[in-house]
Each structure stands twice: as structure tokens, then as C-alpha cells.
Copies of this chain bind each other. A is one copy, B any other.
């Protein structure tokens, strides 16, 4: 007998190619053009599915929006966890990598800024977009603060929030301003804010 309900041990939730196509298309359109600007019609047309299929997987547009942001959130979690994991004995290196990974990998694909900030601008109150934005921002801040604590930093919480500010500002600036020194300015600012509160010369 053994396990009964699932035959596939690695993917308990079903995947469905159509579902993936819907999500990938929604991700692209929502991010590039905004959530409210993209209608269901656009999504089903470009994903090559029918209306019924979409509503079977995502009962409402808000559910699709939530899934879109969940996807983005999972990606960010994985990336940051990976960086921290691969610098397990080097918190200072992990902090630097958090900055350079952004400039190296993400500035290109984040031409339209932060998907959470952008989506939050389109909704009010406790809409799922705003809740998820607050969640991931709080989580990232806490990861940074943890690294600072591991370094015996003088002010882990305050500095983590300052680092989040410059990180946020850098992503927004990258999507709005014409600044070809953005990466350098950002990394320099990031490093300076960290080192200002580290214990006296480590060597």
C-alpha cells in the first residue's frame, strides 16, 4: 500500500504545461506593462490557452496576480539563500555579493524596476500585492541584519534598513533614470554603509 494519494514523490502539486505557459505569460506582461493595464484576454491570447483553462487554474485575476508575485518571491528567496549559503563562513563576502549580484544579474532583467513595488502602486489597503511586498522586503531586511550581526556590526537593524533603502533606490533609479554609473555608485554606497559600523580594523 504505502503512499496513496500521489504517485509522483517529487511534484505533489501537478504542473501542467498550460499552467506554466499562463504563468510565464502573465509574468512577462504584468511586469512589462503593469497589472491593471493587462487584461485576461491578452494573457490567454499570448499564452495560447482558452479562457476556461485559465479560470480553472486561477479562479480570479487576483489569484493570478498572487501567483505571479509568488513566483517572483520564490526566485528572490532562492537567489538570496544561495548567496548566503555559498558564503557560510564569510558574512562580509555574502553582503558584497548581495550587491554585486544585483548589478551583475538583475539590473538587466529589472529594467522595469521592482515587481512588488510596481504592483503595490496599483492597489490599495491590504491587497495581496501589498502584503507580499511587505513580506519579502521584511524578509530580505532580516537576512541582511543577520549577516551584519554575524560580523558584530554596531547597528545591524538600522544598517540593514539603510542598505534596503539604497538597494530599493538603486532598482527604482535603474528603471527610471539615465545613469550609466548607477552600479558603481550603488556598490560604493553599499560597501561604505557596511564598513562604517564594523568593529575596529580586523587585521
Contacts and interface: CB of A to CB of B under 8 A. Distances in A.
B169 A181 contact: no
Nearest to A172: B168
Given A36-B34, A121-B34, A122-B37, A189 B172 contact: no
A50 interface: no
Interface of A is mostly: helix
A67 B116 CA distance: 27
A120 interface: yes
A34 B176 contact: no
A133 B177 CA distance: 8
Given A188-B158, A196-B192, A130 B176 contact: yes
26 contacts: A34-B121, A34-B124, A36-B37, A37-B122, A37-B123, A113-B121, A120-B176, A121-B121, A122-B122, A130-B176, A134-B177, A134-B178, A138-B178, A141-B177, A157-B181, A158-B185, A161-B173, A161-B185, A162-B186, A165-B185, A165-B186, A166-B166, A166-B169, A166-B189, A168-B169, A172-B172
